[in-house]
Structure 1
Amino acid sequence: MANRAAPALTLREGDRGELERLHRSTAARAGEVLRARIVLAAADGEANERIAQRLETSKATVLKWRGRYQAKGLAGLSDEARSGRPRTVDHARIVSVTLAPPRKYGVTHWSTRLLARHLGIGNRTVATAWREYGVQPWRAETFKFSTDRELVAKVTDVVGLHLAPPENAIVLCVDEKSQIQALDRTAPMLPMQPGLPERRTHDYKRHGTSTLFAALEIATGKVTGACKPRHRHQEFLAFLKQVARAYPDTGDGTELHLVMDNYAAHKKAEVRDWLAANPRIQVHFTPTSGSWLNLVEVWFGIIERQAIHRGSFGSVKDLNAKIRAFINGWNDRCHPFVWTKTADEILKNANRQPTLNTGH
């Protein structure tokens, strides 16, 4: 009778969702996750011995947290105040020192051991203070400010095209992915097998580079692409003419609206003159440092992950052929690219960032 099912533990209203969140969490402490798993298993009527065996803990631990939840609900799963001498280390001071650069030691940021030695305390104490205040000195992220004076107008224009394109118009996001390397491994790749991932040598041969020009139709996800050896204005103008042929003027007044960034080749006199001679094609520039508003960048990430990064190419010709094959396959299974955030939400978020120090 050792595995006889215990009476199912009755959960309080609304607690299951919080327990399941803890059960799936990768950020919660291991003890909190274990307690949530115990209570959920008990609520499903699983025997105490079986819970202990499956979760690799003791039956006493299972009974303890069953009882604590039964008595106090979720509050019973929290650690109770420990007996003994109150904490004498000031966590706020530890964090205050953490936020100051450790110039004395010639490093860019504190580690728990370096700060502990500096303050004359244990490194576990430093780690506890960092966890309490959410401080993570080992992490660093990037950000970019747009200094475009027409930021608001350009964001509103481009996002408006994504969310509500004009009637009788096709919106295309246009850009180039340059310097794509034709890399060939020094030995054939070993294919994936049960229990083994695909394997390849760490070294490779370079066979040159290619530039992929692409126009993404956001309403369908269809891509018009071309591979060229360089990405000057001459190649860009040739690609624009290819796009115009792919979407011919049928006399019904359909306009082409092109979203592109501020790369110099996009604004050359020859390109401007050709656009002026083709008034059905209208250009919308993203703000400076705002190329992420161009949805073709998302598609470039897809082709990089699915066709280029793990590819092996014996020549630039081989690379271009495989890129074209991916585009053909993509267009057979393409899907619309849906933009969800409004211009106001984007600008509100941008305004929350600290302002630049211009020196004035």
Structure 2
Amino acid sequence: MRGRASVAIDLSDEERSFLEAQLRRHKAERSLSDRCRIVLRCADGLTSKEVAAELGHAEHTVGKWRRRFAEHRIEGLSDEYRAGRPRTISDAQVAEIIKQTLETTPKDATHWSIRSMAAETGYSHTTIRRIWNAFGLQPHRSETFKLSTDPLFVDKVQDVVGLYMSPPNRAIVLCLDEKSQIQALDREQPVLPMAPGVAERRTHTYLRNGTTSLFAALGIATGAVVGKCYKRHRATEFLDFLKELDRNLPEGPDVHLVMDNYATHKTPKVKAWLARRPPWQVHFTPTSASWLNQIERWFAELTRKQIQRGVHRSVAELEADIMAFIDAHNDKPKPYRWVKSADEILTSVKRFCLKTMNRTSIPGD
């Protein structure tokens, strides 16, 4: 006895191209790619039994997608809508959970957790998790911010960013700052090196072996860095570093210095020294806006790559590693690419201020 004949599948060029493209997609759903493969093999003239044996599916599964494609073509390969389990929590209850998450805190903590909110409301922790995920609530996370209160914030941002994005012709632009109190730290016990499947391990306790302060200047055009270490970070050391820069820079071009409002940068001796050099011009970043100084980005690399996990038994070792890092950086310097214009920065700050004011405002005020 012969069973029911298989439905013949005849593909157009567009349909075959679409099905084959789904098989080549790296992020395609496994279920969809399996269905496309079934239809393609059926279109090659194989029976459902042969396709099932070749692809490792049940014969009735192959027959199902053969019929679905024959009736609805490509649209038939999608899953049919399923109503699913009825909701057990109303919109009002969801709104109450959201309100409680945003406006209250538990008695024994600074923020809610999924388990503590579940215990407080009587719902399961999976229900709380779904609601928080749906509305993007993450009470365990916290970010920091600080807005500049400099009355000349707008003017300084436009000045510094304009210098980055459109520097004067034949001029040298240097981002200058000091990284003070860098500690020479040694571990109380030897560091255990990394091994296959085992991360590097070190004691959480350490020995302090003194500190040093690094004065550094970054050329925005080349990415090269000039640096020098000092025992202290007073105006005297800052002035000495300026003189070091003066000796290393070529004569002729104007020099534009970008630096912050630290007191050592504005002493009478420093101002007098700069006044005797008209080609040297100073551009101050706004207060509480060190992110405008590109040297801070380089300081972050120095900390991450050299200082954070370094072991230094003396200040001399620390300073030697810092200078070696500068030399290695200058072998292949790469300038940072500033992409945000002053208007875009100011617009972002304005948007953040308005959002913060809306969140902290009291209804009725």
Task: Determine if the TM-score, normalized by the shorter chain, exceeds 0.5.
Answer: yes
Displacement, 1:109? 1.2
CA contact (8 A) 1:9 1:42 kept: no
Structure with greater Cα Rg: 2
Taking the TM superposition and a 5 Å limit, the aligned residue runs for 1:1-360 are 11=18, 23=27, 36-39=29-32, 71=75, 76=78, 80-84=82-86, 87-88=89-90, 90-102=93-105, 105-249=107-251, 253-354=252-353
SS at match of 1:158: helix
CA contact (8 A) 1:214 1:223 kept: yes
Question: Structure 1 residues 121 and 193 mapped into 2: Cα distance closer, same or farther (>3 Å)?
Answer: closer
Residue in structure 1 matched with residue 7 of structure 2 by the alignment:
none
Letter in 2 for 1:272: K
Distance 1:171 1:323 in 2: 23
Displacement, 1:322? 0.9
Letter in 2 for 1:162: Y
Letter in 1 for 2:332: R
User: Is the deviation greater in 122-131 or in 223-232?
Assistant: 122-131
Displacement, 1:260? 0.5
Question: Structure 1 residues 116 and 259 mapped into 2: Cα distance closer, same or farther (>3 Å)?
Answer: same
Letter in 2 for 1:271: V
Distance 1:93 1:59 in 2: 48
Displacement, 1:162? 0.8
SS at match of 1:201: coil
Letter in 1 for 2:29: A
TM-score calculated relative to the size of structure 2: 0.78
CA contact (8 A) 1:209 1:316 kept: yes
Displacement, 1:214? 0.5
Count of paired positions: 325
Displacement, 1:42? 6.6
Structure 1 spans left out of the alignment, 5+ residues: 1-6, 24-34
Question: Structure 1 residues 12 and 109 mapped into 2: Cα distance closer, same or farther (>3 Å)?
Answer: farther
Letter in 1 for 2:103: A
Q: Identity of paired residues, percent? A: 46
Question: Structure 1 residues 100 and 289 mapped into 2: Cα distance closer, same or farther (>3 Å)?
Answer: same
Letter in 2 for 1:146: S
Structure 2 spans left out of the alignment, 5+ residues: 1-10, 42-50, 358-365
CA contact (8 A) 1:233 1:266 kept: yes
SS at match of 1:99: helix
User: Is the deviation greater in 216-225 or in 192-201?
Assistant: 192-201
RMSD: 3.6
Displacement, 1:245? 1.0
Question: Structure 1 residues 106 and 245 mapped into 2: Cα distance closer, same or farther (>3 Å)?
Answer: same
Displacement, 1:138? 0.9
Question: Structure 1 residues 59 and 187 mapped into 2: Cα distance closer, same or farther (>3 Å)?
Answer: farther
Residue in structure 2 matched with residue 29 of structure 1 by the alignment:
none
Displacement, 1:171? 0.6
Question: Structure 1 residues 187 and 339 mapped into 2: Cα distance closer, same or farther (>3 Å)?
Answer: same
1:23-80, Cα deviation, whole Å (9 max, x unpaired):
5xxxxxxxxxxx735545776899999xx99xxxx989x989998995467xx47984
Displacement, 1:174? 0.3
